[in-house]
Amino acid sequence: MRILAIAFCLVAASASAQSVELGGRAGLGCGGTVDSLCRDASPVVGVHMSIWPSDSIELGAWLARLNRDDLAFRAADVPVDITVADRQRDFVSFLLVYHFLKDRPLRPMVGLGSGWYSDASRTSCEPAGCQVILRSGPLLGQYRTWNVDAIFMIGLSGNVGGRWVWRGGWQSHRFGNDENSTQQFFVGAGYRFGR
């Protein structure tokens, strides 16, 4: 319900905005672990819609997906192999981004935001009947969980031909929060409509 309310506010604000931008991004992302800030980089893809109230301020809504590698391990103290497959982390992000150095071809940018991220995966085990042995172990089956996100972004942006906006940088989700954190290194482009 909160996502719908935020989306409505963005659409309402776009009526008085200087311009509206639609675009996408691609890059690499990785999740954190107990002993690493960034492990097992995987492709990230996403789309965004931004409202530009001025030439320096961008209010954006971003959707992105990080597909993660499968995990396989042996359960402790029992002869059971566990596989965690179809792992993905999805992001619904709302950002306030400030672009410095107006009218320059290369503009530093910094952004703060919030939103939600979800973790989805399918956990199975072998051999047959392992579900009985793992009653106190990991949950088996397909699951998706949602958590609140805190976002920080830095990078560079610029305009091409007055309507196209390019950008690239680093975006951190829940920085330093071990397994919940994600780092994205991205490039993207968007087309601006309006004034």
Q: Give the angle 131-136-142 at the CA atoms, nearest 5°.
A: 55
Percent of the chain with pLDDT over 70: 81
Spatial separation of the C-alpha atoms in residues 126 and 157, rounded to whole Å: 49
Most confident of 43-47, 123-127, 176-180: 43-47
Q: Is residue 7 over pLDDT 50?
A: no
DSSP, residue by residue, 70-109: -EEEEPTTSS-EEEEEEEEEEEEEEEEEEE-STT-SSEEE
Long-range contacts from 64-67, C-beta under 8 angstroms, 24+ separation:
64/25, 64/29, 64/90, 64/91, 64/93, 64/184, 65/89, 65/90, 65/91, 66/29, 66/31, 66/42, 66/90, 66/91, 66/182, 66/184, 67/42, 67/43
Of 118, 180, 114, nearest to 145 by C-alpha is: 118
pLDDT of the residue at 86: 82
- CA-to-CA distance for 166 and 190, rounded, in angstroms? 6
Structure tokens at 129: 């009947």
Alpha helix segments (H runs only) across the chain: 2-14, 130-133
The answer, yes or no, to whether residue 173 has pLDDT greater than 50, is yes
Q: Of the spans 13-17, 36-40, 80-84, 131-135, which averages the highest pLDDT?
A: 80-84
- Mean pLDDT of the residues in the chain: 82
Distance CA 17, CA 53 (A): 5
Classify 129 as helix, strand or coil: coil
The domains found in the chain, sorted by start residue, are 2-194 (2.40.160.20)
Rounded to an integer, the average pLDDT of 8-23 is 64
CB 60 within 8 A of CB 24: no
Residue 136: predicted pLDDT: 62
pTM: 0.73
Q: How confident is the model at residue 186 (pLDDT cuts 50, 70, 90)?
A: very high
Is residue 10's pLDDT more than 80? no
* SS3 at position 175: coil
Phi, psi of 10 (to 5 degrees): -65, -40
